[in-house]
C-alpha cells in the first residue's frame, strides 16, 4: 500500500493530501435577519391626529389601573395582581392563610404546564422554619397585604 510520501499517489489521494486541516471547518455566520412576512405599517402615529383628546392615557395604563383597583370578594378568587420584590403578601398553604413576602431577588416565573405567573415567596411555618415556595395569584393562593385582603381574612377568621 502506498504511503503519503510515496511518489505513486493517485490523483484523488494527492488532492486530499494538501496542507491544511483534514476536515472542513464551518464558520459561524450570523443568521440572516428575518424579513417580515408582510409589509404593514405597525406605527399608529397617524391615529393620533384624529384623536380629540391627545392627553388620554394609553390602553395599557388603563388596563393596569383597572387591575390594581379590582378587589376580590372572596379569598379563593384569582387576582391578576403584579407583585414586586419584598412586597408583603398572604399565601394559602395547606389550606391555611400565612403572612409572607415576595423573595427579594426573585423574578416571576411562567409555569410550563399552565402558563400562569408564579412568585417566589418567603414565609414561616408554624414551627418557625423559614421556607420558600412558588405561588400564583391566578390560582387564588397569593394575595397582596392590603386592607381589603386583611378584612377578607378577618371575616373568614384567619386573623
* Res. 9: pLDDT tops 60: no
Q: Which residues contact 4 (CB under 8 A, 6 or more apart)?
A: 13, 17
CATH (domain of 128) = 2.30.30
* Res. 98: pLDDT tops 50: yes
Within a domain: 5: no
Where in the sequence is the domain holding 83, given as residue range(s)? 75-155
Within a domain: 14: no
Within a domain: 24: no
Express each pLDDT in 66-80 by its tens digit. 555 677 888 888 988
Distances (CA, A) of 61 to 56, 57, 66, 68: 10, 6, 9, 11
CB 137 within 8 A of CB 78: yes
CB 143 within 8 A of CB 79: yes
Residue 66: which of 83, 81, 84 has the closest Cα? 81
Within a domain: 65: no
pLDDT for 89: 95
pTM of the model: 0.56
Give me the chain's average pLDDT, please. 75
Within a domain: 19: no
Within a domain: 6: no
Express each pLDDT in 26-39 by its tens digit. 666 666 666 655 55
If one counts the domains in the chain, the total is 1
pLDDT for 19: 61
Coil, helix or strand at residue 110: strand
Within a domain: 138: yes
Within a domain: 39: no
Q: Where are the alpha helices (DSSP H) in the chain?
A: 11-16, 59-69, 147-155
Q: For residue 56, what pLDDT band results from cuts at 50, 70 and 90?
A: very low
CA 141 to chain centre: 19
CA atoms within 13 A on the CB side of 58: 6
Amino acid at each position: 500500500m502506498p504511503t503519503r510520501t510515496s511518489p505513486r499517489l493517485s490523483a484523488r489521494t494527492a488532492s486530499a493530501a494538501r496542507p491544511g486541516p483534514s476536515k472542513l471547518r464551518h464558520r459561524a455566520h450570523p443568521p440572516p435577519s428575518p424579513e417580515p412576512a408582510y409589509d404593514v405599517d405597525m406605527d399608529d402615529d397617524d391615529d393620533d391626529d384624529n384623536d380629540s383628546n391627545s392627553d388620554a392615557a394609553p390602553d395599557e395604563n388603563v388596563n393596569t389601573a383597572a387591575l390594581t383597583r379590582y378587589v376580590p370578594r372572596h379569598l379563593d378568587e384569582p387576582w391578576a395582581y403584579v407583585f414586586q420584590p419584598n412586597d408583603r403578601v398572604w399565601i394559602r398553604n395547606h389550606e391555611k392563610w400565612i403572612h409572607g413576602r415576595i423573595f427579594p431577588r426573585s423574578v416571576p416565573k411562567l409555569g410550563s404546564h399552565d402558563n400562569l405567573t408564579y412568585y417566589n415567596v418567603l414565609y414561616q411555618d408554624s414551627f418557625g422554619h423559614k421556607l420558600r415556595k412558588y405561588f400564583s395569584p391566578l390560582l387564588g393562593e397569593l394575595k397582596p397585604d392590603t386592607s381589603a385582603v386583611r378584612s377578607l381574612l378577618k371575616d373568614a377568621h384567619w386573623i
